[in-house]
Amino acid sequence: MAHFQIEDLTFAYPTAKGRSLDGVNLTIDRGEYVVLCGKSGSGKTTLLRHLKTVLTPHGKRGGRVLFNGVDMEQVSQRDQAAKIGYVMQDPDNQIVTDKVWHELAFGLESLGCDQKTMRARVAEMACYFGIQDWFHRDVATLSGGQKQLLNLASIMAMQPETLILDEPTSQLDPIAASDFLNTVRKINVELGTTVIITEHRLEDIFPYADRAIVMDGGQVIADDTPRGIGKALHERKNDMFAAMPTPVRVFYGANGQGECPLTVREGRNWLNRCFPAPPQIHGLPAEPLEEEVTNPALSLKELWFRYEKESPDVLRGVSAQVPTGSLWAIVGGNGAGKSTTLKAICGICRPYRGKVKIFGKPLEKYKAKELFGGCLAMLPQDPKSLFVKKTVREELAEMTDDRQKIDEVTALCQIGTLLDSHPYDLSGGEQQRSALAKVLLTQPRILLLDEPTKGIDSFFKEKLADILCKLKDQGVTIVMVSHDVEFCAKYADRVSMFFDGQLLTTDTPRRFFGGNSFYTTAAGRMSRHVFDLAVTAEDVVGLCRQAQEG
């Protein structure tokens, strides 16, 4: 008997015109690891929410969902709570209580378990997830990754048969995300829990999934093994192909033969088979970095900063020069001080030593109005921090009365269709672009971006990159802090590594990522034994084609 049986499920939200789900038929077996992919708004979340009645949205529904052969409506709330675990996107708001131990026990308390059972289960979970060390801590002191792990653990304490995860890592940095996904995989392998997951970061889960399901416009358009999905999407020239892991994209881009690689290891082996002897073309030319920047838009000189008198220094001599009209990306670990650097540039943090110069003029000489009115602006990590009105149109009107300017920015950010929506009703990528539009209305000549690709899928990333390129053409200088090495490799003009409170190396992306062996893109790791300095999937595809022709 199938674990979940979805029969002809159709759903429409009360106010929406079209259907969010349109005749979905699916069978999910016990212990399967299923990845659900699709663009934002393709109906993934709506489908997942139908697998648990308390979360099912209101609207017009047809068809049915069977859980262990019983109609979902007939399964008691208690059984659903205990047997179907559901992890959502937002690490913060999912947490209910203020202490880690209490959060672990929350589900068990709700089910009315007795002390003895609770004690045993909570202890068990704390050990399994390695959270003994922070068992007594306040939830507020945890990092995003720890919070999401806690959410997972508190659900696993109820010993569910199924784990449903709705973009669980979209708010996490890559290292925390891959930790989290490894734990999910461990649960699937070691406990046999059925896992149904939606994710943007397919690189980390695609190779391990039993099955991938692609949705588009509320319909299931493909349902196959991950390898089969890669092939199907390539053949249909579907947009979703851009979200496939790098080895898959390179393989089909270079018209590869044989079995499609899914992991970096398989990708390397495939390249070895392709090129038994080293190819004629052995890499891409390294474009040198101009060391001397004349007339920089932004210059930082020996910045030192700490948050409190007694706390350690966060910035320990940060120096940089950013040429006008370029995109500068800062990469580096969590809590290294990248965001603090941005704050120091826009004067939210005041370094106790060192100088920030903007267009050659020291920061402290600027008046706030002069600085933020046409010179400098920052897009915060959480775009929601900028939303204060009921519609996107009002948000933009708050910034300026100039209709023409608003129209220009609306066109640039492609938010024409979103103007009358409430900012909170938009998807992550749409929110990002609306917030960016608001920021751009101050007409900044230097734009600061804090993790602009966090939580957005590959299509929105491309749209964002488009916008950034257009801004650069207009002469805007962009400073970006990011964890997204793929994005930085593709679009940045210069990349700096932030470590130990300093900017250690600055170079062009090709030389920067091409020189690294760990901290680099999947494409770089996959091809560095054959080609030098190929850091994006496009680079590798181009080189493969040239090598095959030549």
Angle at 349 between CA 343 and CA 352, to 5 degrees: 130
- Single-letter amino acid code for the residue at 181: L
115, 294, 311, 404: residue in contact with other proteins (rule CB under 8 A):
115
Tell me if 372 contacts other proteins by CB under 8 A: yes
Select the residue interacting with other proteins from 24, 47, 105, 250 (CB under 8 A): 105
Number of H helices, E strands in the chain: 20, 20
Give the range of 82-90, 204-212, 262-270, 510-518 binding other proteins by CB under 8 A.
Answer: 82-90
CB of 201 to other proteins, least distance (A): 21
Which of these ranges, 17-25, 95-103, 210-218, 471-479, lies near other proteins under the rule CB under 8 A?
Answer: 95-103
Q: Does 112 bind other proteins (CB under 8 A)?
A: yes
346: left (phi over 0), alpha (psi -120 to 50) or beta: alpha
| Binding test (CB under 8 A) with other proteins, winner from 28, 36, 81, 181 | 81
Range in contact with other proteins (rule: CB under 8 A) among 258-266, 343-351, 481-489, 531-539: 343-351
| Residue 377 in contact with other proteins, rule: CB under 8 A | yes
77 binds other proteins (CB under 8 A): yes
Q: With contacts defined by CB under 8 A, name the span among 12-20, 52-60, 189-197, 201-209 that binds other proteins.
A: 52-60
3-class SS letters over 348-386: CCCCCEEEEEECCEEHHHCCHHHHHCCCEEEECCCHHHH
Distance, CA of 100 to CA of 114 (rounded, Å):
19
Task: Choose which of 16, 189, 388, 411 interacts with other proteins (CB under 8 A).
Answer: 388
Angle at 325 between CA 321 and CA 330, to 5 degrees: 50
When the beta carbons of 203 and 395 are compared against other proteins, the nearer one is 395
379/146 Cα distance (integer angstroms): 25
Residue 211 CB, shortest distance to other proteins, in Å, is: 24
Instruction: State which H helix or E strand residue 234 sits in.
Output: helix 226-236
What CA–CA distance (Å, rounded) separates 27 from 14? 27
Give Cα 322 to chain centroid, integer Å: 26
Residue of 76, 294, 311, 404 that binds other proteins (CB under 8 A): 76
Question: How far apart, in whole angstroms, are the C-alpha atoms of residue 166 and residue 169?
Answer: 9
Q: Of residues 27, 74, 78, 529, which one binds other proteins by CB under 8 A?
A: 78
Instruction: Examine residue 96 and tell whether it contacts other proteins (CB under 8 A).
Output: yes
Residues 125-154 interacting with other proteins (rule: CB under 8 A): 139-140, 151, 154
Residue 492's Cβ-count burial label (10 Å; 0-12, 13-18, 19+) is: buried
CB atoms within 10 A of CB 406: 18
Nearer to other proteins (CB atom), residue 360 or residue 373: 373
Applying CB under 8 A, does 183 fall inside the site for other proteins?
A: no
- Residue 390, classed as helix, strand or coil, is coil
Strands 296-305 and 353-358: antiparallel
**Considering only residues 26, 37, 155, 446, which one is a binding residue for other proteins as defined by CB under 8 A?**
155
By the rule CB under 8 A, 456 interacts with other proteins? no
Among 40, 41, 61, 90, contact with other proteins (rule: CB under 8 A): 90
**Cβ atoms of 523 and 511 closer than 8 Å:** no
442 binds other proteins (CB under 8 A): yes
The SS3 assignment for 115 reads helix
**Interaction site with other proteins (CB under 8 A):** 52, 54-55, 76-78, 81-82, 85-86, 88, 90, 92-99, 101-102, 105-115, 118-119, 122, 139-140, 151, 154-155, 158, 343, 346, 348, 368-369, 371-373, 376-378, 380, 382, 384-388, 398-399, 424, 438-439, 442, 448
